[in-house]
Amino acid sequence: MAPQHQILPRSGPEREALRKKGQFWTPEWVAKAMVAYVLKDGADTIFDPAVGTGVFFLTAKKLAEQMGRKIHLAGCELDPETLKHGKETGLEEADLQEVRIEDFLFTLSLPQASAIIANPPYIRHHRLAADYKLQLQKLAMRLMGFTLDGRAGLHIYFLLRALDLLTPDGRLAFIMPADTCEGVSAPRLWDWITRRFRLEAVVTFAPEASPFPGVDTNPVIFMIRKANPAPDFFWLRLMQPEAAALSEWIMRPFAEVQSDSLVCVKRDLKEGLAAGLSRFPVDIQPEVPVLGQFASVLRGIATGANDFFFLSRRQALELELPDEFLIPTIGRNRDVKSDRITAETMLELEKSGKPTLLFAPDDRPWDLFPPSVRRYLEKGAEGGLPHRPLLATRNPWYKMEFRKAPPLLFAYLGRRNARFIRNLAGVVPLTCLLCVYPKSEEKDYIERLWKILQHPETIQNLFRVGKSYGSGCIKVEPRALEKLPLPTHLLQDSKLESVATSPQLNLFGKNN
Ligand SMILES: C[S@@+](CC[C@H](N)C(=O)[O-])C[C@H]1O[C@@H](n2cnc3c(N)ncnc32)[C@H](O)[C@@H]1O
């Protein structure tokens, strides 16, 4: 493995620079498996739309040599500096001659290709400029006839453009973050792809086998062919890092296997798409009870400027803000260390000087606020708050979102396990937590639901609805959390099932 493919800064400015350019290098053991797939039919040219330091080129050269074949290399790369590093790892000037220093997505007249391989730049949508995003939407419209959700990252557009360049029977291998098949746009995107192309294999990695250890991303390899769609596909899970088993499996005719280092099963495409391609196969149980039948879920409050609206008790006192404009709030996941928030939790946070209060003005005219509130709002206005992205959409800019204090909260992202928290202090959360409102306000109902939600079987189900990141982290959006399957036997044990369907208690009426 070439040294620069191993080195990945875990934090700091160097890592930040890589994030901006989407530069995460593929390790050679993964590149080998991907190259083996695209060269299976004897293609003589390999096209990489995001060459970087050229790991796919180098691997293709080596593999072609072993097979006694000659391989032609072509591609695109935006950053000429990274190409230079490629030469240090064994590529020659001639190997890079057909790399265009251009934006792959908007370079005109790219040739069709029979072998396309990429680790596309993983640049999340909030790092893309608004006018570039607009161009991406137009690209999606041109290629598919519909646009994708604004949160779709650059890598998804790379996949679409590459599929468009594939020649009949051509092969494509892309390593992408799992959000490609877990995000809001995923169902429509994959429905479109799998109606036009044959999804041959999806490779997933156990956290300990990740090709990018220490990076917050759960990578998945998609192997797609421009051929008639098939009703099933092979789904692989690599259990051990750097396992030769992966490229060995790819070089042979595809088949189910079960070994210590690799598990491969044939999956029904419809089932795979319904479950999410990155997720384990599950028996589809349409009748399975889900959280949405027992509770509704909302995201926490988005202040638009935590530095201004989220205050410590001391700050609020110094600013002389009256209590009627202050709401007890949890704004950081790490401030909740246990599975309960109590008055003591809030007191502890206050004592250690942490912010615990949301400054929440309503929409009354400016001059009807008490003088201290007006002074503080004036300070905010002078600091440019009315022009901040979210606040600019509010009228007036200082009117805070409202949430009733939820009896349960869900911590949805973080190094520690995702978990449900009982809110016994009447706090409202900021966006780091989700609000869970049980459909009955009875204490007993809430406690029984909470017990089910804390059960390891329920927590395990989060992987069926959430977006997975590196090292087992998971993020769940409010709508997805409402689809969380609740184990039937737990519902039965706690009698919650019968309560939920009982019309007298009107559990569905209130929040629907
Ligand atoms: C994730 S890296 C992968 C590089 C290499 N193929 C590998 O697998 O190690 C993606 C590369 O795409 C480049 N890139 C970013 N945006 C691009 C664009 N619009 N067109 C072409 N290349 C781009 C980045 O500079 C980076 O080198």
Predicted confidence (pLDDT) at residue 7 exceeds the cutoff of 70: no
pLDDT of 342 higher than 90 = yes
User: Residue 253 and residue 250: Cα distance in Å, rounded?
Assistant: 7
Amino acid at 279: R
Answer whether 158 contacts ligand 1 (Cβ < 6 A). no
Buried b (16+ CB within 10 A) or exposed e, 214-242: ebebbbbbbbbbbeeeeeebbbbbbbbbe
Q: Which segment, 35-39, 91-95, 504-508, is predicted with the most confidence on average?
A: 35-39
Structure tokens at 498: 């019968």
23 lines ligand 1 (CB under 6 A): yes
Structure tokens at 339: 């599975």
Output the pLDDT for position 11. Answer: 45
- Look at residue 8 and tell me whether its pLDDT is greater than 90: no
pLDDT value, residue 285? 47
Domains belonging to the chain, first-starting first, are: 14-275 (3.40.50.150), 293-366+400-505 (3.90.220)
Ramachandran sector of residue 7 (left: φ over 0; alpha: ψ -120 to 50; beta: rest) = beta
78 lines ligand 1 (CB under 6 A): yes
Strand partners, 222: 174, 202
pLDDT tens track for 394-441: 999 999 999 999 999 999 765 456 789 999 999 999 999 999 999 988
Residues 476 and 482: beta-carbon distance below 8 Å: no
Pairing of the two strands 72-76 and 99-100: parallel
Residue 510's pLDDT is 29
pLDDT of amino acid 222: 98
Residues 129, 386: Cα–Cα separation, whole Å: 21
Amino acid at position 254, single letter: F
**Is any atom of ligand 1 closer than 6 Å to the C-beta of 52?**
yes
Q: How far apart are CA 330 and CA 489, in angstroms?
A: 33
Protein residue with its CA nearest to atom 5 in ligand 1: 52
What average pLDDT score do residues 8-12 get? 41
Ligand 1 pocket test target in 119, 156, 158, 217 with most atoms within 8 Å of CB? 119
Cβ of 303 less than 6 Å from ligand 1: no
Other Cβ atoms within 10 Å of 79 Cβ, number: 16
Question: Is 121 near ligand 1, meaning CB less than 6 Å away?
Answer: yes
Find how far residue 302's CA is from the centre of its chain: 19
Tell me how far the alpha carbon of residue 63 lies from the centroid of ligand 1, in angstroms: 22
**Is any ligand 1 atom within 6 A of the Cβ of residue 361?**
no
Hey, how many other C-beta atoms are within 10 angstroms of the C-beta on 381?
A: 15
- Burial code of 330-356, b = ≥16 C-beta within 10 A, e = fewer? bbbbebbeeeebeeebbeebbeeebbb
Ligand 1 atom 10: residue of nearest CA: 121
Per the listing, tokens 């997933």 go with 204
pLDDT band for position 16 (50/70/90)? low
Is residue 25 in contact with ligand 1, taking CB distance under 6 Å?
yes
Question: pTM score, two decimals?
Answer: 0.67
User: Which pLDDT value is given to residue 139?
Assistant: 97
pLDDT at position 464, please?
Answer: 83
Closest atom, ligand 1, to C-alpha of 5 = 9
C-beta 76 within 6 A of ligand 1: yes
- Of 225, 164, 218, 216, which is closest to residue 194 (Cα–Cα)? 225
Neighbours of 488 (CB within 10 A): 13
Res. 473: pLDDT tops 80: no
- Ligand 1 neighbourhood includes 22 CB (under 6 angstroms): yes
With helix as H, strand as E and coil as C, how does 417-430 read? Answer: CCEEEEECCCCEEE
Task: Tell me what percent of the residues of the chain surpass a pLDDT of 90.
Answer: 67
What confidence score (pLDDT) does residue 217 get? 85
CA–centroid distance, residue 85 to ligand 1 (Å): 13
Q: What ligand 1 atom has the least distance to the C-alpha of 76? A: 21
When comparing pLDDT for 9 and 424, which is higher?
424
Q: Read off the tokens for 505.
A: 């208690």
| 311 Cα to the center of ligand 1, angstroms | 41
Least confident of 45-59, 264-278, 341-355, 468-482: 468-482
Q: Which one-letter amino acid corresponds to residue 466?
A: G
DSSP 29-57: HHHHHHHHHHTTT--SEEEETT-TT-HHH
Buried b (16+ CB within 10 A) or exposed e, 89-121: bebeeebbeebeeeebbeeeebeebbbbbbbbb
pLDDT digits (tens, 9 = 90+) for 233-284: 999 999 988 778 999 999 999 999 988 899 999 999 999 998 899 988 865 4
pLDDT tens by residue, 377-392: 999 999 999 999 899 9
Atom of ligand 1 minimally distant from the CA of 103: 20
Model pLDDT for residues 191-240, shown as the tens digit of each residue: 999 999 999 999 999 888 999 887 878 999 999 999 999 999 999 999 98
User: Is the CB of 119 within 6 Å of ligand 1?
Assistant: yes
What does the alpha-carbon distance between residue 303 and residue 309 come to, in Å, rounded to a whole number? 7
pLDDT for 186 beyond 80: yes
C-alpha to C-alpha distances, 464 to 190, 234, 408, 416, 454, nearest whole angstrom: 17, 19, 21, 18, 16
From the list 4, 419, 418, 19, the residue with the least C-alpha distance to 216 is 19
35 lines ligand 1 (CB under 6 A): no
How far apart (Å, rounded) are the C-alpha atoms in residues 472 and 208? Answer: 9
257 phi and psi, to 5 degrees?
-145, 160
In DSSP terms, 408 is beta-bridged to 422, 436
Where b means 16+ CB within 10 Å and e means fewer, 166-181 reads: beeebbbbbbbbbbbb
Q: What is the pLDDT of residue 416?
A: 54
Pocket test for ligand 1, best of 1, 5, 26, 77 (most atoms within 8 A of CB): 77
Inform me whether the pLDDT recorded for 482 exceeds 50: yes
Q: Give the pLDDT of residue 241.
A: 84
Is-contact 296 439, C-beta < 8 A?
yes
Spatial CA neighbour of 120 closest among 173, 28, 50, 182: 50
Say if ligand 1 is within 6 A of residue 82 CB.
yes
Position 320 scores a pLDDT of 97
- 3-state SS string for 78-102: CCHHHHHHHHHCCCCHHHHCCEECC
pLDDT at 23: 65
Whether pLDDT at 371 is above 90 = yes
Please provide the size of the chain in residues: 512
d(C-alpha 501, C-alpha 55), whole Å: 57
Q: What is the pLDDT of residue 284?
A: 41
What pLDDT does 13 receive? 53
pLDDT at position 504 over 60 = no
Mean pLDDT of 454-466: 88
Q: pLDDT, tens digit, for every residue of 286-328?
A: 467 899 999 999 999 999 999 999 999 999 999 999 999 999 9
Q: What is the mean pLDDT of residues 132-157?
A: 94
CA of 104 to the centre of ligand 1 (A): 9
Share of the chain above pLDDT 70, in %: 90
The H helix count followed by the E strand count for the chain is 19, 21
- Residue 21 near ligand 1, beta carbon < 6 Å: yes
**Closest Cα to atom 13 of ligand 1:** 50
CA dist 188 and 258 (Å) reads 32
105 C-beta closer than 6 A to ligand 1? yes
For the record, the structure tokens of 204 come out as 């997933």
Whether the CB of 103 sits within 6 Å of ligand 1 = yes
